[in-house]
Amino acid sequence: MLNLTDWERKTLEQLLDSGIRKSIDSMAKLSHTEWEVVSVSLKDGAPERFLKEFANDASHYRGVHVTTQKSCPLHFLVMFSAESSKSLIKALGEAYNIDMAKMAEANRIMLEEAGNILVGSFLNTLADCSKTMIMAAAPQYREGTKEKLLAGALEDLNKQIGSSDHVLMVRITMYAGSLLADCDYLVIASGQYLKELVSTVSING
């Protein structure tokens, strides 16, 4: 595994933080609900570290897996707990005219849209700060334990590039009135690709 330098890690953290806050603003406009970000925390390391950590959590999660074009091997995994997904659905359901009686379909539609906004905002921020334009595929809805969801995303990326050896995870806590939502937002890639990506970035201030 290639370790990121402090500058590389800080740059990625700034990109993710900026993208996340833009995505929260987008969700607020869509839902006419004022979402506030309580905290955004980042940690990174080898996939094995996260698989080991997630193995201790047997809870069921819902989320999305987002892939990108082969020339930019970057995958995203966004996961919500059952309670957090309910909060998002409650906030966004009216904006999308979702039939709340069909909860399984509501889960899929709302979480795919939330994942699309979160990932899209990061990629747009990246494009604004570099010469890199990355196109994302449509989000794919997933359910299961965190360990299972990460293992599946790693398998898909490894088929594309041979070996992924780096995971960035952002824990997001946000609220809107009485609604509270936690999200684990993972960026999966090779350390070498992340280094190449960060080298193109210029952040003012």
pLDDT of the chain, 205 residues: tens digit per residue: 567 899 998 898 888 888 888 888 887 777 677 777 777 788 899 999 999 999 999 999 999 999 988 888 889 999 999 888 887 777 776 666 666 666 677 778 888 888 888 899 888 888 888 878 888 999 999 999 999 999 999 999 888 887 778 888 988 887 776 677 888 999 999 888 889 888 988 876 5
Range of the domain at 136: 6-198
Could you tell me if residue 203 is inside a domain? no
Q: Is the pTM of the predicted complex or chain greater than 0.75? A: yes
**Do residues 121 and 10 lie in contact, with contact meaning Cβ atoms separated by under 8 Å?**
no
**Listed residue (76, 64, 170) closest to 123, CA to CA:** 76
Sheet holding 75-81, edge to edge: 36-45, 166-176, 179-189, 75-81, 61-66, 140-144
Task: Please give the Cα distance from 16 to 10 (Å, whole number).
Answer: 10
Could you tell me if residue 152 is inside a domain? yes
Could you tell me if residue 127 is inside a domain? yes
Structural domain total, the chain: 1
**Do residues 126 and 134 lie in contact, with contact meaning Cβ atoms separated by under 8 Å?**
yes
DSSP states along 122-156: HHHHHHHHSS---PBPPPEEEEE-HHHHHHHHHHH
Over its C-alpha atoms, the chain yields an Rg (Å, rounded) of 16
> What is the CATH classification number for the domain harbouring 76?
3.40.1550.10
Could you tell me if residue 167 is inside a domain? yes
**Listed residue (203, 164, 161) closest to 186, CA to CA:** 164
